[in-house]
């Protein structure tokens, strides 16, 4: 299964807010032996959001979308998702209960009665208007839910809310995708990537299920120019054996380790 991310908001593209989602999605997937296949950044432009959601649905990938599901005029994701998927919008009954309870709790904290007939409440209920047939993503921070339509998952832009929701999805909807994962790496200098290619090829041929990688750096503040080389795979024992072979082959190709591990 491929995983993708949509990160939506003018504030990200303008630099008014720093994106906190991409690194978190990568880390959450990696910790479960999974990987992010792609990520797209979008502004608050409805036509573009519709096109991206439509393409995401057609891809068959699992997609995590962050931002734009509130009820202010610059929040378009709920409406765009409905349009992209050809579904009507409808107030989700469970979301209505959660939003109403949240309003009552907030009013109680101030010693006030909550007016469920008032205009403020009706505006808040818009946060529970989702494409028909959507399921809810629980929000442990304030109970205002996100929503899913198939393998498309829509969460708020606030990291404090969205990141626990992402973890819930991975642990409840995609637990069967989680797999063992091991990775070993070392930094080397004294050679170049082209000289190491035959070493990578021999290692991958010798150890089934193990993949090698090479990450060159030209201006690292501590190590200077060097190459990070390593292996990853599902079987930790195989990864250890492959790493030993990689080190041996790299040394024979002139590589000098600068941070043995």
Q: What pLDDT score was predicted for residue 219?
A: 87
Q: What pLDDT score was predicted for residue 182?
A: 87
**Percentage of residues of the chain with pLDDT beyond 70:** 99
pLDDT at 6 over 60: yes
- CA dist 36 and 78 (Å) reads 23
- CA dist 177 and 1 (Å) reads 8
pLDDT at 260 over 60: no
Q: What pLDDT score was predicted for residue 200?
A: 96
- CA dist 52 and 55 (Å) reads 5
Mean pLDDT of 161-166: 98
Asked if residues 220 and 173 have their Cβ atoms less than 8 Å apart, the reply is no
- CA dist 94 and 8 (Å) reads 25
22-31 pLDDT per residue, tens: 999 999 999 8
pLDDT tier at 147 (50, 70, 90 boundaries)?
very high
Residue-wise burial string across 4-25, b where 16 or more C-beta atoms lie within 10 A, e elsewhere: bbbbbbebbbeeeeebbbeebb
Q: Counting beta carbons within 10 angstroms of the beta carbon of residue 93, is it exposed (0 to 12), middle (13 to 18) or buried (19 or more)?
A: exposed
pLDDT tier at 58 (50, 70, 90 boundaries)?
very high
179-214 pLDDT per residue, tens: 878 889 999 999 999 999 999 999 999 999 999 999
Q: Rounded to 10 degrees, what is the CA torsion of 133, 138, 144, 145? A: -30
Q: What pLDDT score was predicted for residue 146?
A: 98
Q: What pLDDT score was predicted for residue 14?
A: 96
Sign of CA dihedral 18, 13, 1, 172: positive
- CA dist 25 and 246 (Å) reads 29
The pairing of strands 182-189 and 226-233 is antiparallel
Q: Counting beta carbons within 10 angstroms of the beta carbon of residue 43, is it exposed (0 to 12), middle (13 to 18) or buried (19 or more)?
A: middle
91-to-85, 104, 152, 259 alpha-carbon distances in Å = 17, 19, 18, 56
Phi, psi of 91 (to 5 degrees): -70, 120
pLDDT at 261 over 80: no
Asked if residues 78 and 129 have their Cβ atoms less than 8 Å apart, the reply is yes
pLDDT at 80 over 90: yes
Mean pLDDT of 147-151: 98
Q: What pLDDT score was predicted for residue 181?
A: 80
Q: What pLDDT score was predicted for residue 178?
A: 84
7-57 pLDDT per residue, tens: 999 999 999 999 999 999 999 999 898 999 999 999 999 999 999 999 999
Sign of CA dihedral 145, 148, 153, 154: negative
pLDDT tier at 166 (50, 70, 90 boundaries)?
very high
pLDDT tier at 220 (50, 70, 90 boundaries)?
confident
Sign of CA dihedral 24, 30, 34, 38: positive
Residue of 104, 129, 101 whose CA lies nearest to 115: 104
**Beta-sheet strand order (sheet of 226-233):** 211-217, 226-233, 182-189, 256-257
Mean pLDDT of 64-79: 96
Domains by residue range for the chain, with CATH: 3-177 (3.40.980.10), 182-257 (3.30.70.360)
Q: What pLDDT score was predicted for residue 26?
A: 96
């Amino acid at each position: 299964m491929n995983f993708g991310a949509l990160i939506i908001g003018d504030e990200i593209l303008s630099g008014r807010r720093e994106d906190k989602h991409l690194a978190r999605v990568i880390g959450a997937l990696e910790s479960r032996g999974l990987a992010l296949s792609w990520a797209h950044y979008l502004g608050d432009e409805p036509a573009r959001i519709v096109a991206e959601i439509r393409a995401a649905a057609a891809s068959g990938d699992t997609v995590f979308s962050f931002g734009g599901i509130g009820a202010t005029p610059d929040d378009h994701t709920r409406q765009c998702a409905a349009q992209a998927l050809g579904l009507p919008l409808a107030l989700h009954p469970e979301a209505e209960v959660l939003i109403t309870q949240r309003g009552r709790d907030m009013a109680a904290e101030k010693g006030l009665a909550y007016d469920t007939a008032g205009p403020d409440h009706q505006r808040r209920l818009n946060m529970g208007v989702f494409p028909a047939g959507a399921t809810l993503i629980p929000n442990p921070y304030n109970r205002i839910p996100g929503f899913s339509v198939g393998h498309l998952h829509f969460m708020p832009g606030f990291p404090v809310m969205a990141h626990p929701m992402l973890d819930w999805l991975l642990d409840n909807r995609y637990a069967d995708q989680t797999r063992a994962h091991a990775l070993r790496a070392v930094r080397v200098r004294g050679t170049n990537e082209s000289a190491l290619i035959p070493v990578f090829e021999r290692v991958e041929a010798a150890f089934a299920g193990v993949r090698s990688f090479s990450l060159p750096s030209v201006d690292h503040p501590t190590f200077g120019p060097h190459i990070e080389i390593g292996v990853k795979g599902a079987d930790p024992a195989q990864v250890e054996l492959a790493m030993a072979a990689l080190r041996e082959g790299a040394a024979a190709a002139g590589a000098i380790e600068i941070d043995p591990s």
